[in-house]
Amino acid sequence: MESKLYVGNLSYDSTENNLRELFTQAGEIQEISLITDKFTGQPKGFAFVQMVSQADAEKAIRMFNDQELDGRRIIVNLARPKEERGGGGFRQNGGSRGGSRRR
The domain that holds 25 is classified in CATH as 3.30.70.330
Q: Is residue 83 part of a domain?
A: no
Do the domain assignments include residue 73? yes
**Comparing C-alpha atoms, which of 51, 65, 46 is closest to residue 4?**
51
pLDDT of residue 83: 75
Predicted pLDDT of residue 94: 52
Sign for the CA dihedral angle at 62, 11, 25, 67 comes to: negative
Residue 89 counted as domain residue:
no
- Note the pLDDT of residue 58: 97
pLDDT for position 81: 85
**Residue 61 structural domain:** 4-78
This prediction has a pTM of 0.78
Q: Is residue 18 part of a domain?
A: yes
| Residue-level pLDDT at 100 | 52
Q: What is the pLDDT, as a whole number, of residue 2? A: 82
Contacts of 66 (CB under 8 A, 6+ apart): 73, 74, 75
The structural domain count of the chain equals 1
Continuous H helices in the chain: 16-23, 54-64
Q: Describe the chain by its helix, strand, coil percentages, rounded to 5.
A: 20, 30, 50
Is 53 inside any structural domain? yes
3-state secondary structure of 43: strand
| pLDDT at residue 99, rounded to an integer | 53
67: in domain: yes
Residue 85 domain-assigned (yes or no): no
Q: Each residue's pLDDT tens digit in the chain (103 positions)?
A: 589 999 999 999 999 999 999 999 999 999 999 999 999 999 999 999 999 999 999 999 999 999 999 999 999 999 998 776 665 555 555 555 555 555 5
| pLDDT of 19 | 97
